[in-house]
Amino acid sequence: MTEKRVRIFILVAWAIFTLLPIYWVLDISFQPEISFPPQLAPLNPSLTHYTSLLNERLVVTGLLNSLLVSVVAALVSVVITTMAGYAFARLEFKGKKLLFIGLLMAFLLPPNLNIVPIFSLFSELGILGSRYGMVFLYQLLVTPLNIFLFMNYFNTVEDAIVESAILDGAGVFQRYYRIFMPLAKPALVAGFIFAFRFSWSEYVYATTMVSDNSKILFTAALERAIFSGQYTVNFGYMASGAMFLALPVVVILLFGQKYLELGLQLGGVD
């Protein structure tokens, strides 16, 4: 029995390590006065960091812009990746294997790697710093993962349903939006949340590509608010801002856990 205790002990230790930064962010975000030594739990919990963060005009602009960009990016993603997932799962075509390998490569290549050429290309195209440019760019982060998600999901649809639709005279397009799309509703939600999450919390491109204050995204605005003091870092903003960033994750954990595993099996780190 002692060996079993050791095993549980190690699991608990790793769980503590995993939860520590999350707990600490939560703890700091509710402490009105952050001073050393910090409190292990907020003695006088208050929402002051949240309210003053939401009183920063740039942060509010950033929140609204990020909301717009993330929702549009997620909608676009769901449309284009269900289409591609449908083709990979259910249609026959020449070059399937080659395109699939290309897709895998695109999935494995870290998107941040290409920031220099993308910055230059966006500048040449005149879409540098535009919100719709960012919608377009954020497809890069999530497209491969969502194609895998929908491909796997469409593969699980029983052939009998498809066969009977074909007998009823449903063509390839009708099958896509009359059979596969309605059946995939739960996966659509998961794909939407995945895509939303990536765009919502993306940092490197958001801070580099957008310089116009009216188009600033949340992560960039947050970064500026945290370091707006000349010599001081606003830790309250850092903590409460992190909670805003983690919000979609909470939603995923509460509602999307069933589909999470599928996405997780396919991996992907931003």
Partner 1 sequence: MHKYRAFVPYFFLFPALAILFFFQFFAWGWNINIALRDVTIMNFRRAWPFVGLQNFRDIFTDPVTLITLRNTAIFATTGIVSQLLIGTGIAYLLFRAERKVENIFRPIFIIPWLTSVLVASFGWRLVLGRDTGIVNMLISSLGFEPISFIGHPATAMLAIVIANIWRGTPFTILLMNSAMTSINPQLVEASKIDGASQWTFYTKIALPILKPFILMNTILITVWTINAYGLILNMTGGGPLNATRVFPLHGYLAAFSEGRFSFAAGITMLSVLMTLVLIYFYLRFYDVELVD
Nearest approach, Cβ of residue 23 and partner 1 (Å): 9
One character per residue 237-266, x = contact with partner 1 (rule: CB under 8 A)? -xx-xx--xx--x--xx---x--x---xx-
One character per residue 67-106, x = contact with partner 1 (rule: CB under 8 A)? ------------xxx-xx-xxx--xxxx-xx-xxxxxxxx
User: Per CB under 8 A, which of residues 216..235 are in contact with partner 1?
Assistant: 219, 223, 235
Identify the residue among 47, 54, 108, 161 touching partner 1 (CB under 8 A): 108
Give 55 or 232: the residue with its C-beta nearer to partner 1. 232
- Asked if residue 1 binds partner 1 (CB under 8 A), the reply is no
Nearest approach, Cβ of residue 186 and partner 1 (Å): 18
Give 48 or 139: the residue with its C-beta nearer to partner 1. 139
User: Per CB under 8 A, which of residues 129..148 are in contact with partner 1?
Assistant: 136-137, 139-140, 143-144, 147
| C-beta of residue 179 within 8 angstroms of C-beta of residue 161 | yes
Identify the residue among 46, 120, 164, 213 touching partner 1 (CB under 8 A): 120
